[in-house]
Chains A and B, each alone.
Chain A
Amino acid sequence: MPKCTINGRSIEVKEGTTIMEAFYQQDASIAHYCYHPGLSIAGVCRLCIVDIEGNPRPQIACNTKIMEGMKITNQSAGIKEGVKWVLDFHLINHPLDCPICDQAGECGLQEQYMEYGKYSPEMAERKVKKRKVVDLGPTVVLDSERCILCARCTRFTEEVTKTEELGLFNRGDRTEVGCVEGKQLDNKYSLNTVDICPVGALTSKDFRFRQRVWYLKDADTICTGCSTGCNVKTYFNKEGFFRVKPVYNEKVNGHWMCDEGRDIYKFVNLEHRQLKASIRTGSETFETSAGDATKKFSSFLKQLKSSETAVVLTGQYTVEEYQALVKSLKKSAGHFFHWNQNEVTEKAFDGLLLRGDKNPNTAGLRQVLEENKVGSDWKELETGLKDKKIKTLIVAGPENKTVFLDLANKLTLFSQAENLVWLSAAKLDQAVSGPKNFWHIPLKTFVEKSGTFVNAKGLAQKFSKVTTVLSEALTLSDVAALLTGDEALMVAEAKSEIAEAKIPLLADLHKRPDQVELERRKKNEFLYKRGAL
């Protein structure tokens, strides 16, 4: 355990720790670009220079291991001057097109320049012109001029995805990032290169030009794209959700997330949502609010026999919701079914993050069904519907329709029932004409509620509500409360083993010491901005 001092503070670190890691552990600020904790060390940006006592020249912090008794500082006048000049060299060929650059506002170069910049550039030569708007693949666009050659993206494709599509070509100031001949940047994790790019050289085609980043608020939640349960940040404003980025969690996803998961913001937005509840009784169809429709169904439910009523659940909802729904409907519904749309591919895993099970909470649903000793075989549902033994179906359908490839088939199966209640946030593409009575009640999506997801490894993660998109939609707990008339269900979280276990809230796990509460930020942002003008 070598001891050393960093900026006058003496610390003890593990054997083999680099100076950069020690700075991170100390929360001491140090300028750097190419260093990324999830990648190997390249040492190309030369920005993280530090003075070590007894060493005649500055050393780079990312590639120097700490030895016993080292005295390290990056506060000396020489180092400060050096960082300034290195930063100015980075800017020699960097175009000043921040206004049309998507990275502006969250750009490493902008941030470092504000802190360490040399505000009077002395470069008199012309800038080297390079390719702009280069199509690298289906998801990413490259702007070579903005690139500062930190090699983070090439290291990512070499080390993490091992697909090796990207490389650095040519020499000197003509060096450019590009795809290897005959290849495209087309892998399932390609958008991570956009996240780790410290400048606006790599931009996402999906997010490109849609919003300036300073118009967006962010909040932590869990990706619902598959059962890995990656920790993510969702970015949104009053116009809707715009993108998803990964958040570091050592136990779950490390620094990365897949490209599929980045699409999960899409079905949250209003244009893909069922806005009003629709009820069809016989030939009469009318629209009403979600709560009213649920109450109407609850009075209908009381006339039904429990043996003829069944509940179908998908793995898209939280443990608390399952708990509330199962407990409240135990008496009035005789059967509970688990609609697993990807039974065949469920165990598939690509070795990095992507899993075959495209539901966030399959494990949680199974636990709840087991806990309550309900849950029947899927074949019973099929035969029951055929023999008209099951007349009423309550289906908690998918909010993310794109991962339910068998949706149309299953809808025709469910349509054999006499009464069908379809609980889902998503609009239905096809008309459901089979059942005599049909309710479609809009639900809230994962960003509009708090709850717990259990991932494929059995890790329960608690997340809190991000914002409200559709205020009149209900959660499954609300539906359960309205169906039974038990308002306690709506207010208090349903009791369950998982919900009661002390799991730290996701937002608290990733909290920075200087972070402002989201609610407070939402309230004060505009006032604050106005005041700053």
Chain B
Amino acid sequence: MSIVQNTGEKKNWYLPGILTGMGITMKHMLTNLMNRKKMPTLNYPEEKHEYGPRFKGNHVLTVKKDGTLRCTACMLCATNCPADCIKIVASESIDPEVEKFPIHYEIDILRCVFCGFCEEACPVDAIRLGPEWQTPGLNGANFNYDIEHLAHRPQLKGGILTHVDDKERHKAGI
């Protein structure tokens, strides 16, 4: 941050500075009163800001058509995570079409810096950063989000469907 040094003659006098400042304040007050639609402040929490579609908020684990997790537990997100906040325990699946899946997937949201590197690293579109940004918690709230929260929390209304479908990919000969 740079500090503006006032070196002019004005700084030796008290009133001119005060009056200029008050003038700016009055100007903003009057313009806002005249044109209330352009006022930049919001009456939070009654009014909320709409962020762009690419906003990086809380994580979502996507699901396949049958409702199971898309995640293959490859741990690329955990490897790429600069805050070291993702913990995955992989296991063998009993489903013959799924080889590996996470039995435990935990994000420590207080450590997360919302950089989106996990989303970038994911080869199968299993993790996304969603639009949610209001996640307050009372003292003692659990900020270690587990699979239940990341994939099936009520706000997601049954889960977010992934773009990458193995069956379609195999049909295409990949």
Binding site for B on A (CB under 8 A): 96-100, 125-127, 129, 132-133, 208-210, 212, 214-215, 530, 533
- Assembled-state Cα–Cα distance A533/B76 (Å): 13
By a CB distance below 8 angstroms, the chain A residues around B123 are 99
User: Which residue of B is nearest A127, CB measured?
Assistant: B173
- Assembled-state Cα–Cα distance A214/B75 (Å): 10
- Assembled-state Cα–Cα distance A214/B79 (Å): 9
Whether B162 is near chain A, meaning CB under 8 Å from some CB there, is: no
Contact of A533 among B72, B80, B100 (CB under 8 A): B80
**Interface segment, one of B37-45, B89-97, B141-149:** B89-97
User: Which residue of A is nearest B117, CB measured?
Assistant: A533
B 78-102 to A, binary, CB cutoff 8 A, 1 in contact else 0:
0110100000001110001001100
- Assembled-state Cα–Cα distance A208/B91 (Å): 9
Whether B174 is near chain A, meaning CB under 8 Å from some CB there, is: yes
Contact of A132 among B73, B99, B173 (CB under 8 A): B99
B73–A209 contact, CB under 8 A?
A: yes
By a CB distance below 8 angstroms, the chain B residues around A99 are 72, 74, 76, 123-124
Contact of A100 among B73, B96, B173 (CB under 8 A): B73
B90–A209 contact, CB under 8 A?
A: yes
A533–B82 contact, CB under 8 A?
A: yes
- Assembled-state Cα–Cα distance A210/B103 (Å): 12
Distance to closest chain B CB from A475 (angstroms): 33
Contact of A208 among B72, B75, B92, B173 (CB under 8 A): B92
Closest 8 A-B residue pairs measured CB to CB? A99-B74, A126-B173, A209-B90, A100-B100, A100-B72, A212-B75, A99-B123, A100-B99
Given contacts A100-B74, A212-B74, A214-B79, list 10 more A-B pairs with CB under 8 A.
Answer: A96-B174, A99-B124, A100-B99, A132-B99, A208-B92, A209-B73, A215-B79, A530-B82, A533-B82, A533-B117
By a CB distance below 8 angstroms, the chain B residues around A215 are 75, 79
B151-174: which have CB < 8 Å to A?
Answer: 170, 173-174
A133–B96 contact, CB under 8 A?
A: yes
By a CB distance below 8 angstroms, the chain A residues around B100 are 100, 209
- Assembled-state Cα–Cα distance A215/B99 (Å): 21
Interface centre among A96, A125, A212 (most CB of B within 10 A): A212
Interface size class of B (residues with CB under 8 A): 20 to 34
By a CB distance below 8 angstroms, the chain A residues around B174 are 96, 127
By a CB distance below 8 angstroms, the chain B residues around A97 are 99
Contact of A209 among B82, B91, B117, B124 (CB under 8 A): B91
Interface centre among B72, B74, B76, B91 (most CB of A within 10 A): B74
User: Which residue of A is nearest B92, CB measured?
Assistant: A209
- Assembled-state Cα–Cα distance A209/B100 (Å): 8
B99–A133 contact, CB under 8 A?
A: yes
By a CB distance below 8 angstroms, the chain A residues around B72 are 99-100
- Assembled-state Cα–Cα distance A96/B164 (Å): 14
By a CB distance below 8 angstroms, the chain B residues around A98 are 74
User: Which residue of A is nearest B170, CB measured?
Assistant: A129
Question: Could you jot down 10 A-B contacts, CB within 8 Å?
Answer: A99-B124, A100-B72, A126-B173, A127-B173, A133-B96, A133-B99, A209-B91, A212-B79, A215-B79, A533-B82
- Assembled-state Cα–Cα distance A486/B170 (Å): 70
User: Which residue of B is nearest A210, CB measured?
Assistant: B90
Distance to closest chain A CB from B121 (angstroms): 10
- Assembled-state Cα–Cα distance A517/B33 (Å): 69
B 103-118 to A, binary, CB cutoff 8 A, 1 in contact else 0:
0000000000000010
Interface centre among A129, A209, A212 (most CB of B within 10 A): A209
- Assembled-state Cα–Cα distance A215/B75 (Å): 10
By a CB distance below 8 angstroms, the chain A residues around B75 are 212, 215
- Assembled-state Cα–Cα distance A126/B172 (Å): 8
Distance to closest chain B CB from A264 (angstroms): 24
User: Which residue of A is nearest B103, CB measured?
Assistant: A209
Distance to closest chain A CB from B89 (angstroms): 9
A125–B173 contact, CB under 8 A?
A: yes
Distance to closest chain B CB from A133 (angstroms): 6
By a CB distance below 8 angstroms, the chain A residues around B82 are 530, 533
User: Which residue of B is nearest A529, CB measured?
Assistant: B79
- Assembled-state Cα–Cα distance A339/B152 (Å): 58
By a CB distance below 8 angstroms, the chain B residues around A533 are 80, 82, 117
Distance to closest chain A CB from B79 (angstroms): 7
By a CB distance below 8 angstroms, the chain B residues around A214 are 79
Distance to closest chain B CB from A348 (angstroms): 36
By a CB distance below 8 angstroms, the chain A residues around B173 are 125-127
By a CB distance below 8 angstroms, the chain A residues around B90 are 209-210
- Assembled-state Cα–Cα distance A217/B144 (Å): 28
User: Which residue of A is nearest B98, CB measured?
Assistant: A100
Distance to closest chain B CB from A99 (angstroms): 3
By a CB distance below 8 angstroms, the chain A residues around B170 are 129
Distance to closest chain B CB from A132 (angstroms): 7
Distance to closest chain A CB from B100 (angstroms): 4
User: Which residue of A is nearest B124, CB measured?
Assistant: A99
Distance to closest chain A CB from B97 (angstroms): 9
Distance to closest chain B CB from A416 (angstroms): 46
By a CB distance below 8 angstroms, the chain A residues around B99 are 97, 100, 132-133
Distance to closest chain B CB from A146 (angstroms): 11
- Assembled-state Cα–Cα distance A212/B74 (Å): 8
By a CB distance below 8 angstroms, the chain A residues around B91 are 209
- Assembled-state Cα–Cα distance A208/B92 (Å): 8
- Assembled-state Cα–Cα distance A125/B173 (Å): 8
By a CB distance below 8 angstroms, the chain A residues around B92 are 208-209
User: Which residue of A is nearest B90, CB measured?
Assistant: A209
By a CB distance below 8 angstroms, the chain B residues around A129 are 170
Interface centre among A96, A99, A126, A210 (most CB of B within 10 A): A99
User: Which residue of B is nearest A526, CB measured?
Assistant: B84
- Assembled-state Cα–Cα distance A100/B88 (Å): 13
By a CB distance below 8 angstroms, the chain A residues around B73 are 100, 209
- Assembled-state Cα–Cα distance A208/B99 (Å): 11
By a CB distance below 8 angstroms, the chain B residues around A125 are 173
